[in-house]
Structure 1
Amino acid sequence: MATMRAVDIKGGKGGIDALFINDQTPRPNIDHAKALVKIKAFGLNRMDLLQREGKYPVPPQAPATLGVEFSGTIEELASESESGFKKGDAVFGLAYGGAYAEYIAVSTHMLVHKPDELSWEEAAGIPETWITALQAMYMIGEFSQGKTILWHAGASGVSIAGQQLSVGNGAAAVFATTRSDEKCDFCVKQLGATAAYNTTTTDWAAEVLKATDGKGVDIIVDYIGPETFAADLRAAAKDARIVNLAALSGPKLKESSEAPDFSAFVRKRLRYEGSSLRSRDEDYQGRLRNHLVDHALEKFKKGEFKVHIEKVFPWTEIQDAQRLMESNQTKGKIICTI
């Protein structure tokens, strides 16, 4: 059996110190529409930390190895692969898992040809965050040119992508929230947000209403959950879509939090919808891949969209890379190179 090197976890789950490079990991086989890709770089995501600890619901088709986004070159193609790909192509893509490794087996429906204008590191930082942002904007939030949108956790990977997508695709106004003035400045000056609000010092919902002449915003993308729920209802416009992607403030409403006004659902005809990406089937993820190509790829080539990278590590320093992610001090992607 062919083997490869891959990041593994001693005991199957544990702390950062449990991560190590296992040089006896079975190399994946391909079938149907899959390609075998030799990985050049991979991106870190917060789900990786949860999966390492055994706290993330991993899809049944995912390998045990961490990682969902990568860049590299095609080594082999199965018989049902998309016709646009060939051996040797430089690609980047999204997978159900397995990216912290030398090789990955992935559906060609989730691969994109890497433009020459992008480095391997930049390409590896695109798939998870940019596709998640596109899903929240278009497939859930029903974004169209001229709408207003707000991105919570404005310096997170998904919101960095989302603000650029919103500006680049014709939003009337783009707002963001963060927990520091420095990150607010980053959203406005580097990403093009109309305004950004520090949630620790500002009633951001009141500021959004003031900035929109009392109308509120058409789309809110929320990862915080209970802590922002009531303010989301205040800041939302009529017929708004609130897209919830995580609950970083915990799974339950707290007594100390602002009490939500549930009449807003009826008065404003609101839709509050939760969503995920990794659990979606291949067809759904393939449609999102097409959104990425349609709405972002040319702008990456022209330099209008930028992959903001916080730091690049050699993959042998995966423990340090995950420690940096766990610190919550970043304003961009953490990338590992092989």
Structure 2
Amino acid sequence: MDHMRAIVITEPGGPEVLSWREVPDPRPARGEVLIEVTASAVNRADLLQRKGFYDPPPGTSPYPGLEVSGVVAEAGPDVLGFEPGDRVCALLAGGGYAERVAVPWQQVLPVPNGVSEIESAGLPEVACTVWSNVFMTARLRKGETLLVHGGASGIGTMAIQLAKAYGSRVVATAGSPEKLARCLELGADEVVNYRTEDFAEKVTADVILDIIGGPYLERNVAALNSGGRLVVIGLQGGTRGQLNLGALLAKRASVHGTTLRARPVDEKGVIVRGVKDNVWPLIEAGAVRPVVEATVPLAEAAEAHRLLENGQHIGKILLVR
């Protein structure tokens, strides 16, 4: 059996449980392409998986990593639109921290013009997350206000830029002067320091993109305009909060909870096609850019996890072979 190297989680725990090891080579199944990986990126889901709290969906790669860039090495039967040699990036259910990964062709994108192959590794997860939640689910419209929590995160930096490109007003929360300044540079119209200010007393929004969860629920609903949409995509603060249904009804507002990783391939394919049609042209025009904090060698993924957990980063942390 042929082998490659990948980051293996030896047991649930801290960054030190990530080990660069020889493992069996993946083979592309029907409808999959095999990508020779150039770079991957670190997402909070990887930290949860490392700690034993977020297992990969059944039948998918056991290694962490929800996105990669690289070159198509092989195309399985029934693959449409990709062939060996194509420069691509891809949304994964797992397996990105490796030298090679097999992925359904529906989740693969060409590397956008004007973006390096390495940088493009940090695009699929944030672009698909923001497009599916802010635009497909919450239907943010031109002239509406988007409130982005964690505006300096990978998702936040993409949400600010994309919403501005579509003609919306953007308010971002962050926890340091450096992060607040970067949010303004990326196009935010207003920023709120969540450590010293209560966003619910300062702003109202039509759409809120939330990564905190429980502790923000009541204030998020309070900050919604009439007909507002709250989309919860992360639970960094916890799973439980108070929901005033009276306020929700009076505002004719809605609360959505979503995840991306476990969706069926066809659903991911719809999102990926939406990103290719609507986000890629903005990236190629220079209106939206990947924001990269650091690049770390893939074999040193533990150091990249420490950087992300430290919380000082702005944008994405990439892993490079």
The reply to whether residue 303 of structure 1 matches residue 301 of structure 2 is no
TM-score by length of 1: 0.92
The residue number in structure 1 matching 2:47 is 49
The residue number in structure 1 matching 2:9 is 9
Deviation of 1:298 after TM superposition, in Å, equals 1.5
Deviation of 1:252 after TM superposition, in Å, equals 2.5
CA distance in 2, matches of 1:176, 1:115: 27
Q: What are the Cα deviations for residues 190-237 of structure 1, in whole angstroms up to 9, with x where unaligned?
A: x101101011211222211xxxxxxx3110111111221121111101
Deviation of 1:260 after TM superposition, in Å, equals 5.4
Please state whether the residue corresponding to 1:7 is helix, strand or coil: strand
The residue number in structure 1 matching 2:93 is 96
CA distance in 1, matches of 2:228, 2:105: 35
Q: What are the Cα deviations for residues 40-75 of structure 1, in whole angstroms up to 9, with x where unaligned?
A: 000110110110111114211321111010000001
1:324 alignment partner, one of 291, 307, 311: 307
The residue number in structure 1 matching 2:78 is 80
Does the Cα contact within 8 Å between 1:169 and 1:295 map onto a contact in 2? no
CA distance in 2, matches of 1:77, 1:282: 17
Amino acid at match of 1:145: K
Q: What are the Cα deviations for residues 254-291 of structure 1, in whole angstroms up to 9, with x where unaligned?
A: xxxxx654321111011011000001011110111012
The residue number in structure 1 matching 2:162 is 165
The reply to whether residue 149 of structure 1 matches residue 146 of structure 2 is yes
CA distance in 1, matches of 2:215, 2:14: 27
The reply to whether residue 198 of structure 1 matches residue 181 of structure 2 is no
Q: Which has the larger radius of gyration?
A: 1
Does the Cα contact within 8 Å between 1:222 and 1:243 map onto a contact in 2? yes
Q: Which range moves more in the overlay, 112-121 or 321-330?
A: 112-121
The residue number in structure 2 matching 1:281 is 264
| Counterpart mapping for 1:180-259 below 5 A | 180-189=176-185, 191-208=186-203, 216-253=204-241
Deviation of 1:116 after TM superposition, in Å, equals 4.1
The residue number in structure 2 matching 1:138 is 135
Deviation of 1:248 after TM superposition, in Å, equals 1.2
The reply to whether residue 179 of structure 1 matches residue 152 of structure 2 is no
Q: What are the Cα deviations for residues 108-165 of structure 1, in whole angstroms up to 9, with x where unaligned?
A: 1011111342112210000111110111112221122222211111111111111111
Deviation of 1:181 after TM superposition, in Å, equals 2.6
CA distance in 1, matches of 2:6, 2:273: 29
CA distance in 2, matches of 1:260, 1:113: 42
Count the aligned residue pairs: 321
Amino acid at match of 1:192: G
CA distance in 2, matches of 1:133, 1:117: 21
Shift >6 Å, 4+ stretches:
none
The residue number in structure 2 matching 1:213 is none
Deviation of 1:33 after TM superposition, in Å, equals 0.9
Amino acid at match of 1:168: A
Instruction: Name the Cα RMSD after superposition.
Output: 1.3
CA distance in 1, matches of 2:112, 2:291: 17
Unmatched runs of 5 consecutive residues or more in structure 1? 209-215, 254-258
Does the Cα contact within 8 Å between 1:164 and 1:192 map onto a contact in 2? yes
Amino acid at match of 2:94: G
CA distance in 2, matches of 1:243, 1:116: 31
Amino acid at match of 1:142: R
TM-score by length of 2: 0.97
Please state whether the residue corresponding to 1:35 is helix, strand or coil: strand
Amino acid at match of 1:184: L
2:298 alignment partner, one of 315, 332, 335: 315
The reply to whether residue 271 of structure 1 matches residue 271 of structure 2 is no
Does the Cα contact within 8 Å between 1:164 and 1:305 map onto a contact in 2? yes
Unmatched runs of 5 consecutive residues or more in structure 2? none
The residue number in structure 1 matching 2:30 is 32
Does the Cα contact within 8 Å between 1:6 and 1:100 map onto a contact in 2? yes
Deviation of 1:9 after TM superposition, in Å, equals 2.1
CA distance in 2, matches of 1:304, 1:85: 27
Does the Cα contact within 8 Å between 1:231 and 1:260 map onto a contact in 2? no
Amino acid at match of 1:334: I
Q: Which range moves more in the overlay, 236-245 or 261-270?
A: 261-270
